[in-house]
Each structure stands twice: as C-alpha cells, then as structure tokens.
Amino acid sequence: MSSHARRRILVAILIATPAAFLCADWKPVVAVDEKADTAARVVAIRALGRTPFADARPLLAKCLGVRQPQPVQLAALETLATFDAAGVPEAVLALWPSMTPTRRAAVLDALLARPAWRGALLDAVEKEVVRPADLDPARVQLLLKTPDEKVRARAAKLFAGTGPSKRANEIAKYRKSLDRKGDAGKGRTVFKESCAACHKFGGVGEAVGPDLAAIKDRTPVSLLVGIIDPNREVLPQYTSYLLVTDDDRILSGMIASDTADTLTIRQSDGTAETVRRSVIQSLRGTGLSAMPEGLEEKIDIQAMADLLAFLAEAR
C-alpha cells in the first residue's frame, strides 16, 4: 500500500474517532507535511480544532506560512478562529505583514466576530502592526457600531482619518489647475500616457487598478488629491507588496491573482508575473498604494487641468 493511501485511511479513521485518539505523531505528519495531499492536510488541520489550543497553535502557525497552499492557509485560519482563547489574535496577527488581501480579510472577519478580540485588533492598529487603511470601510463601520462603548470610542479615534497629507506642498502647487479651463480631448491623451496602464476609464486603458466609475460622485478637489497623494486612501486589494523568491529576485506590485499554489504580481509597468508559492522566500505588504507617488512630475499644471476635465466629462 502506498504512503498516500495510508494517509487517506488514517484521516478517515481519525475523523470518526474522538479527539482523545489524536496522537502526537499524526498531527505533524498530516497537517504540516508539505508533501501530503492538500485535501488530506485540510481535513487534518480542521481536526486540530478538537485539540487543546496550546498544542494546536504551533502547528497551525506553520500552516499559515506564505509557501503553503491557499486552502491550507485558509483552513488554518478557520480552525484558529474556532478556539475561544485569548492567544488567537496574537497568533493570527503575527503573520499579518506577509498575508495577502484574501488572508487578511479572513483574519479580520475572525477578529471582528468575537467581541473579546475586537480590542486586540484595535491594539494592533494602535501599534501600527495593522494600518487603518488595511480595513475596508465596511469593517471599520462594524467597529464604529459595536455595542461596546470603549471599542467604539477607540475605533472612532483610530479611524478618524489619515491626518495631514505628506504631499501637502505638491497638492498646493497643483490646486492652480482647478482654476484653469481644461481641454477634455487633451486630457484623454494625458490619461492614455500616464494612467491607462492601470486604469480603464472612458473606454481607455486596462482594468488593473480601482474601477474609476466610482469617481462620479467625487469633486475636482478630491480627484486632484487622489492623483497626487495616492497613499492617503488605499483599498486593501490595491496595496502594493514586495515578493522575494528563493533566487533573490524581487517583484513589487499589486497581487492580481491569489490561487491555491501561485501568486501573480502586477507590476507598475502593467506587466504581470506568476510565482509558485513553493519558491517564495518572503512576501510583505508595504501598506502603500500600487499607484506610485510622483505622477504629477510628468504632468504640468495645464495638463492636470486637462486630465481633470477628461475625468469630469467621461464619468
């Protein structure tokens, strides 16, 4: 009988037996064995939810590594969330910087689900382990409307805004474009040259970054600020990541695809590269927008007025 067949039989037996039957030899072999079948590992990981948290925690932490298949990571997060233990937030947040948006969303849902863990999430925001921009508006609202008055007050303070812009001087300079009459036709050309590699709008460009259809309710001032200071408001799915492979290649950009065994990085030039998880040395979110700062360096004040005119006319 092959080793694969033996694992399958063992998993089937363990599912049907009480938690007391789980042995120390089985858990590492099946749950953390990277050569084991992914489906068998997922079953084994979920079975760890029937063991003491202290025993399961180190094994589940290994299953959260960036090299692990997506189903394994998600199963580990789901299993950790089943434990009513104070150490769960610390366990899941320890790997926050290397988690993809999909994994981060699962962590946030787990922490928000239990009132006792919401404070731990706010602690992480306060310590800048988790950035305020890492939470989408819907999850921020959950914290702002929680029954716990202390949590509401802390959330209101932490998510009150990003503070003064670090690019205030650049914004002040380009405010002059708001007083000029823009040419939408010329603005379309500016958009093609400077924005179309990542944005699709008015029938122009590539739908890599945020859907600009959402700008229809934004004022010219807010559009200007968004162009010059892209890091002021960054949706989690458009955060830039740094990926380093085992041969020390560095890729920087947005995670365009997050599958069971691969990650695809969309770089600032519009090109994409798919990397197998098994060769990823490290992955870290920068907390910055995939849209680079300094876009205005290629656009003078009149060209900015033209671009804003195009955005206003096409929406």
Residue ranges, CATH 2.30.30.100, the chain: 236-289
Decide which of 238 and 31 is more confident. Answer: 31
pLDDT of 29: 67
Decide if pLDDT at 12 tops 90: no
Positive or negative CA dihedral for 125, 128, 129, 134? positive
Q: What's residue 93's pLDDT?
A: 94
Tell me the per-residue pLDDT of 57-113, one tens digit each, with 9 for 90 and over: 999 999 999 999 999 999 999 999 999 999 999 999 999 999 998 889 899 999 998
Q: For 23, what's the count of Cα atoms within 13 Å in the CB-facing half-sphere?
A: 7
**pLDDT exceeds 60 at position 118:** yes
Tell me the C-alpha distance between 80 and 157, whole Å.
29
Amino acid in position 88: V
- Give the percent of the chain with pLDDT over 90: 42
CA distance 45 to 57: 11
**What is the pLDDT at residue 77?**
94
Q: Give span(s): CATH 1.10.760, the chain.
A: 168-230+293-314
Q: Which residue has the higher pLDDT, 292 or 85?
A: 85
Question: Of 228, 285, 262, 268, whose CA–CA distance to 101 is shortest?
Answer: 285
Under DSSP, the state recorded for 296 is: G
pLDDT at 164 over 80: no
Helix (H, G, I), strand (E, B) or coil at 284: strand
Q: Please tell me whether the overall predicted TM-score, pTM, comes out greater than 0.75 for this model.
A: no
Give φ, ψ of 282 to 5 degrees: -160, 155
pLDDT in tens, 196-235: 777 777 777 666 666 666 566 678 888 888 788 776 666 6
Q: Letter for the amino acid at 98? A: S
Would you tell me which CATH number, out of the four given (1.25.40, 1.10.760, 1.10.357, 1.25.10), belongs to the domain 168-230+293-314? Answer: 1.10.760
Tell me, what amino acid is at 103?
Answer: R
Highest CATH level, class, for 236-289: mainly beta
| Residue 259 to residue 72: CA distance in whole angstroms | 12
